[in-house]
Amino acid sequence: MSESEPEYPYKAYRRPMPATWWLRNRKYFMFMMRELSSVFVALFVLLYLYAFFLLSKGPVVYGEFQKSLRSGGFIAFYVVALLFAVYHSCTWFRLAAKIQVVRLGRWTVPGSLVTAGAFAGWVVVSAAVITFFAM
Amino acid sequence: MDKGEPFWWGMFSVGGVVAALLVPIHIFLDGLAVPLGLLRADALSYERMLALVGHPLFKIYLFVLVVLPLYHAAHRIRFSLYDLGVKEFRISMDALCYGGALVGTGVVAYVLWGLL
Amino acid sequence: MGEKKTITLTVTRYRPEQEESPTEQSYEVEFRDDWVVLDALNHIKDRVDGTLSFRWSCRMGVCGSCGMMVNGVPKLTCAAFLRDYYPGEVRVEPLVNFPILRDLVVDIDDFMQKLKAVKPWIVRREEKPVAEGEYLQTPDQLAEYKQFSMCINCLLCYAACPVYGLEPEFIGPAAIALAHRYNLDSRDEGREGRKQVIASSAGIWECTFVGECTEVCPKDVDPAAAIQRTKVATTTDWVKSILWPWGKR
C-alpha cells in the first residue's frame, strides 16, 4: 500500500476529540451514566461496611448511625444510588446476554431469553434478601 | 500480550454480577426501607446484626457483597478516566484505582474478622 | 406538476492546497423520494460542483466505500434515504476519528495496517497440500463464525467508537471482530498468534463496551459481542493457565 505509491503531498486534517465527546448524543451520555453508576455502587458498599464497623463500636454508636440514616441528605443519596444501581443491573443483564452465548445441546438460547432469565434471577435473589433480613 | 489485564477484567466482571444482583436490594433495604420505616423497625437492630455477623457464612456473604463491587468500580473508574481524556500519569491513576480496591479488601477483612 | 421539492445538503469541504482547515458548503438539491444521500452527492458532482470528492462504488451496501457522517451519525450514504431527513437539512461530513484527506475522503491507512496485523485469513501450522483435497466444514461450524464474516470494512464502527477517537492505537471493532471470525473458524489454527495483537493493551482491553459500533454496523456483525467474547475467552485461557499450567495450549 505504501512504498511504491507516491506520498500524498498534502496534510491530512485531524479533527480534535473533545473531552466532552460524551455529551454529543444521548447514547454516549447514557454510557457515561452507566460508568458513573459504579461510583455509587462503591460508595454504597463502603457506607454499608461503615455500618458494620460502627457495629463493633457498640449499640450507642451504631444506634446513632441508624438514626442519622433517616436524614434528608442520606435518603436523597440512597435514592440517587438506587437509581444508578438499578440502571447498572438493567444494562448489565442486557449486555451479559451478548457476552455469554448460552447453548443447550445444539440450540443457542436467544439473547432476549438469556436477559429475561437474568432478570428473573435478580428478582429471586432480591426476594430472598428481603425475606431473610426483613421477615 | 498483556498478562495483568485478564485478572482485573475478571474481577470487574464478577464484581459486576454481585453489584447487579445484590446491591439494588440492599440499597433499598438498608438505605431506604428500614430508615423510612417501611419494614420491621428492628430489621437492622444492633442485637440482630451482631448475632448475624457472628456466623462465618454471613461474614463471607458480607465480604463478597462489599469487596467484589469495589473491584468492579475500580476498573470502571480507571477506564472512565481514560474515556474522559486522561493520558498522562496513567500508571499512577491505575495504581490508585486498583490500589483502592486492594486496600478496601484489607479494611473489609479487618472489620469482619478483626473487629467483629 | 407541482413545485419541485428541494432539500439542502451541507457538506464538509477540505481542499488542503488552498485552505488550512475544513469548511462547509451548502447545496440545494432536488428532493426525490427514492434517492439516497449518495444519489444527492453524485447529482452535485455531476451537475453542480465537479470538485466535490467522496468515495463510493456499489451503491448497494456491500462494498463499504461510501461511509460518511450523516447528521452526526456514521452511515453508508447509499443506505441513507433523503426522505428520512426531509424537509430538514442533511449534513454530510467525513467519518470522524479519521484524518481528512480531501472533502469527504478520509485516510484509512491506520485501519489497513491493523487489519493486516490480525491476520484475517486461515492460518495453518502446516498448509494442507492440494492433493489432500478441500477443507470440510459442517453447516454448524459455519454458523459459528458466519455473522462475523459479514464485515465489509466500511469503518462506520471506528467512527462510532469513542475509544478509537481517544486512543488512536486501539485496534478497533472491525479488526477484532475479523480476528474473532477466524478464531472461530474450524479450519483456522491461528488463535494463539492473533492473541499477541488482540490481547495486547491496544487490543480488546481498551474497549469499554460502549456498544455504538454494533449499533451503527450496517451488516449486523455485532463487533461489540466479538470483542467481549474475546475478553471472556482470553480471561478463561488465563485462568486455565494459572490453575492447570501443564495443560495443552
Instruction: Give me the CATH number covering residue A45.
Output: 1.20.1300.10
From B33-42, B80-89, C3-12, the region with the lowest mean pLDDT: B33-42
User: Which chain A residues are within 8 Å of C101, Cβ to Cβ?
Assistant: 8, 10, 12
Distances in Å between the alpha carbon of A128 and those of A133, B57, B87, C211?
9, 16, 44, 33
A6 assigned to some structural domain: no
A109 or C156, which is more confident: C156
Distance CA(C39)–CA(B56), nearest Å, equals 71
Contact C102, C14 (CB under 8 A): yes
**Helix, strand, coil content of chain C in percent (nearest 5):** 40, 15, 45
Q: How large is the C-alpha radius of gyration of chain C?
A: 22
Distance CA(C112)–CA(A1), nearest Å, equals 9
Of the candidates C196, C227, C183, which has an alpha carbon nearest to the alpha carbon of residue C209?
C227
Which tens digit of pLDDT belongs to each residue from A17-55? 998 999 989 999 999 999 999 999 999 999 999 999 999
The vertex-A103 CA angle with A97 and A108, nearest 5°, equals 75
Q: How large is the C-alpha radius of gyration of chain A?
A: 24
Residue of C nearest to A102 (CA): C229
Contact A69, B35 (CB under 8 A): yes
Report the gap between the CA of C82 and the closest CA in chain A (Å): 22
Report the gap between the CA of B17 and the closest CA in chain C (Å): 14
Residues C18 and C133 in one domain: no
- Residue C62: how many CB atoms within 10 A of its CB? 15
Question: Which candidate in C95, C101, C138, C220 is best for mutational testing of the A interface (most A CBs within 10 A)?
Answer: C101
Residue of A nearest to C113 (CA): A1
Percent of chain A beyond pLDDT 90? 76
Residue at a domain's end among C78, C106, C134: C106
Residues C99 and C160 in one domain: no
In this prediction, residue C247 carries a pLDDT of 62
In this prediction, residue C246 carries a pLDDT of 80
C127 assigned to some structural domain: yes
A15 assigned to some structural domain: no
The vertex-B6 CA angle with B92 and A30, nearest 5°, equals 75
Which tens digit of pLDDT belongs to each residue from A125-134? 999 999 998 8
Report CA C102 to chain centroid distance, whole Å.
20
Asked if C96 is an interface residue toward chain A (Cβ–Cβ < 8 A), one would say yes
Q: Which domains does chain B have, with CATH numbers?
A: 5-115 (1.20.1300.10)
Which among C167, C199, C235 has CB closest to B1? C199
Residues C94 and C213 in one domain: no
Q: Do A89 and B24 touch (CB under 8 A)?
A: yes
Question: Element (H or E) spanning C183, and its range?
Answer: helix C173-183
Residues C130 and C164 in one domain: yes
A70 assigned to some structural domain: yes
Q: Do B85 and C235 touch (CB under 8 A)?
A: no
Report the gap between the CA of A15 and the closest CA in chain C (Å): 7
β pairing state of C6-13 and C67-70: unpaired
In this prediction, residue A101 carries a pLDDT of 85
User: Which chain C residues are within 8 Å of B5, Cβ to Cβ?
Assistant: 199, 201, 205
Residues C167 and C54 in one domain: no
In this prediction, residue B55 carries a pLDDT of 93
C1 assigned to some structural domain: no
Q: What number of H helices and E strands is found in chain C?
A: 9, 7
Of the candidates A123, A71, A66, which has an alpha carbon nearest to the alpha carbon of residue A93?
A123
- Residue A73: how many CB atoms within 10 A of its CB? 9
A32 assigned to some structural domain: yes
Number of domains, chain C = 2
Q: What ipTM score was computed for the predicted complex, to two decimals?
A: 0.94
**Over 90: is that where the pLDDT of A104 sits?**
no
The DSSP annotation for A46-114 comes to: HHHHHHHHHHTT-HHHHHHHHHHTTSHHHHHHHHHHHHHHHHHHHHHHHHHHHHS--EETTEEPPHHHH
For residue A109, give every residue at least 6 positions away whose Cβ sits within 8 Å of its Cβ, in sequence order, or none. A102, A103
Residues C89 and C166 in one domain: no
Residue at a domain's end among C106, C126, C147: C106
Residues C12 and C101 in one domain: yes
C77 assigned to some structural domain: yes
Residue of C nearest to A24 (CA): C72
Average pLDDT of A56-84? 94
Residue of B nearest to A38 (CA): B73
In this prediction, residue A108 carries a pLDDT of 86
Which tens digit of pLDDT belongs to each residue from C65-104? 999 999 999 999 999 999 999 999 999 999 999 999 999 9
Distance CA(B18)–CA(B13), nearest Å, equals 9
Look at the alpha carbons of C219, C224, C229, C230 in this order and tell me if their dihedral is positive or negative.
Answer: positive
Report the gap between the CA of B78 and the closest CA in chain C (Å): 10
Report residue A52 as a C-alpha cell. 458494620
In this prediction, residue A122 carries a pLDDT of 97
Asked if B17 is an interface residue toward chain A (Cβ–Cβ < 8 A), one would say yes
In this prediction, residue A64 carries a pLDDT of 93
Range of the domain at A52: 23-130
Residue at a domain's end among C106, C135, C153: C106
Distance CA(C112)–CA(C108), nearest Å, equals 6
Average pLDDT of B79-95? 93
A121 assigned to some structural domain: yes
In this prediction, residue B42 carries a pLDDT of 81
Question: Which residue do the cell numbers 451479559 mark?
Answer: A96
Distance CA(B101)–CA(B69), nearest Å, equals 9
In this prediction, residue A10 carries a pLDDT of 87
Provide the angle, in degrees to the nearest 10, between the axes of the packed helices C173-183 and C139-146.
170
C248 assigned to some structural domain: no
Range of the domain at C226: 109-243
Exposed, middle or buried: residue B113 (CB in 10 Å: 0-12, 13-18, 19+)? exposed
Question: Element (H or E) spanning C106, and its range?
Answer: strand C105-106
Asked if C224 is an interface residue toward chain A (Cβ–Cβ < 8 A), one would say yes
- Supply the mean pLDDT for chain A: 92
Report the gap between the CA of A80 and the closest CA in chain B (Å): 10
Percent of chain A beyond pLDDT 70? 97
In this prediction, residue A100 carries a pLDDT of 86
Along the 249 residues of chain C, how does pLDDT read in single tens digits?
567 899 999 999 999 999 999 999 999 999 999 999 999 999 999 999 999 999 999 999 999 999 999 999 999 999 999 999 999 999 999 999 999 999 999 999 999 999 999 999 999 999 889 999 999 999 999 999 999 999 999 999 999 999 999 999 999 999 999 999 999 999 999 999 999 999 998 999 999 999 999 999 999 999 999 999 999 999 999 999 988 888 655
